[in-house]
Amino acid sequence: MISVLGIFVADISFSGPKIPSIGETILGTKYNIGPGGKGCNQAIAIARLGGEVNFFSKIGKDEYGKLALNTLIKNKIKTDHIIQDKNLQTGVAGIFVDKNSGKNAINVITGAPSTLTLNEIKDNLNTIKKSKIFLTQLEIPKDVTLHCLKIAKENNVLTILNPAPASDLPEEFFNYIDYFTPNETEAEFFTGLKITNENEAKEASKKIINMGVKKVIITLGDKGLFYSDGKDDIYLKATSVKAIDTTGAGDAFNGGLAFGLLKEKTIKETLVLANTVAGVSTTKIGAGDSMPFINELKKFN
Ligand code: ADP
């Protein structure tokens, strides 16, 4: 079983010929409202691959709160640990997508989960303790995230921190992380090193391992990924696909990673799986909705 702590937001995305610059108005081509939030997307990715997953989050009792619950139930994600507060808003994200490259720019209002406290989750910690894997990001208040990572590690649960969006972390965080999965921009944030290729990713990964995490995977967008455990390195090229919307690619990757580890695949097999799951997600519009089902991966085997 995998536990995911994170947020749900309703993604409101606008697709058009470019991402508008400051002060500019453009005529777009399509809009879509669908499930998003890194934690929720990652939980969907795991569930669609066939993994048992619990989602820990907080939402409001509003229209988007209904979208959250419907999405989780439809995707067979366990909702026992979802806190619903009628006085708070469910999160939303405004997303601009450049339809030519699939690239995006995002503004997230996390809403209800920004008020999540240690006290609210204390009765749920048993589920994390009993899990094989604990996966989280940086969209939930940091004291809650740190506490859950610590509890997980103290109970021999494998931990994955997707450090997104990047922000300063107390040093203690790094002691409780088995897999640290920044994208290029986040890895630059944590190391101060510019990353545009495999060699630069290798240098950055050395610096990250020295911070205390056990394994690091830097995702490199359409250039693939770089993995290191400090001894062995693996570089994989991105899956060859026609990307139309890369929103949620990193989430698909983290979901695939958690699922591969759940199934005790080798690290190489796990990375190949995660890379494929992420690649396929870029061929579909949306974030949560773009997470592939396991049978969609067959043609890449
Ligand atoms: P994030 O979505 O967090 O910014 P990345 O952009 O690094 O993360 O993408 C995560 C993973 O998604 C990559 O490591 C790769 O496996 C896959 N991916 C992203 N963009 C593409 C693309 N254009 N073609 C194929 N795979 C992609």
Whether residue 250 has its Cβ less than 6 Å from ligand 1: yes
Neighbours of 290 (CB within 10 A): 25
pLDDT above 90: percentage of residues in the chain:
94
Task: Please report the pLDDT score of residue 102 as a whole number.
Answer: 82
Whether residue 137 has its Cβ less than 6 Å from ligand 1: no
For the segment 97-116, the average pLDDT, to the nearest whole number, is 92
Question: What is the CA(112)–ligand 1 centre distance, in A?
Answer: 28
Whether residue 144 has its Cβ less than 6 Å from ligand 1: no
Question: What is the CA(104)–ligand 1 centre distance, in A?
Answer: 12
Task: Please list, in sequence order, all residues whose beta carbon lies within 8 angstroms of the beta carbon of residue 122, skipping any fewer than 6 positions away.
Answer: none
Q: How many residues does the chain have?
A: 301
d(CA 180, CA 137): 10
Task: Please report the pLDDT score of residue 62 as a whole number.
Answer: 96
Question: What is the CA(102)–ligand 1 centre distance, in A?
Answer: 11
Task: Please report the pLDDT score of residue 92 as a whole number.
Answer: 96
pLDDT digits 0-9 by tens, 240-287 = 999 988 989 999 999 999 999 999 999 999 999 999 999 999 999 889
Task: Please report the pLDDT score of residue 74 as a whole number.
Answer: 98
The answer, yes or no, to whether residue 300 has pLDDT greater than 90, is no
Is residue 141 reached through a cis peptide bond, with omega within 30 degrees of 0 on the bond before it? no
The answer, yes or no, to whether residue 64 has pLDDT greater than 90, is yes
The answer, yes or no, to whether residue 103 has pLDDT greater than 90, is no
Task: Please report the pLDDT score of residue 301 as a whole number.
Answer: 66
Residue whose Cα lies nearest atom 10 of ligand 1: it is 250
pTM for the predicted model, two decimal places: 0.95
Whether residue 213 has its Cβ less than 6 Å from ligand 1: no
Task: Tell me whether residue 251 is one of the annotated catalytic residues.
Answer: yes
Q: Choosing from 85, 245, 251, 289, which is the catalytic residue?
A: 251
Burial class of residue 267 (count of CB atoms within 10 Å of its CB; 0-12, 13-18, 19+): middle
Q: Report residue 168 as tokens.
A: 């300063």
Burial class of residue 292 (count of CB atoms within 10 Å of its CB; 0-12, 13-18, 19+): buried
Whether residue 282 has its Cβ less than 6 Å from ligand 1: yes
For the segment 41-56, the average pLDDT, to the nearest whole number, is 98
3-state secondary structure of 8: coil
d(CA 139, CA 108): 9
The answer, yes or no, to whether residue 41 has pLDDT greater than 70, is yes
Strand 53-60 versus strand 2-5 pairing type: parallel
The answer, yes or no, to whether residue 120 has pLDDT greater than 90, is yes
Question: What is the CA(153)–ligand 1 centre distance, in A?
Answer: 28
Task: Please report the pLDDT score of residue 244 as a whole number.
Answer: 87
Question: What is the CA(272)–ligand 1 centre distance, in A?
Answer: 13
Which run of H or of E encompasses 192? none
d(CA 156, CA 145): 17
* Structure confidence at residue 4 as a pLDDT band (50, 70, 90): very high
The answer, yes or no, to whether residue 68 has pLDDT greater than 80, is yes
Mean pLDDT of the chain, nearest integer:
96
Q: Hey, what amino acid is at 27?
A: L
pLDDT digits 0-9 by tens, 168-213 = 999 999 999 999 999 999 999 999 999 999 999 999 999 999 999 9
Nearest CA to 72 out of 62, 57, 61 is that of: 57
Whether residue 278 has its Cβ less than 6 Å from ligand 1: yes
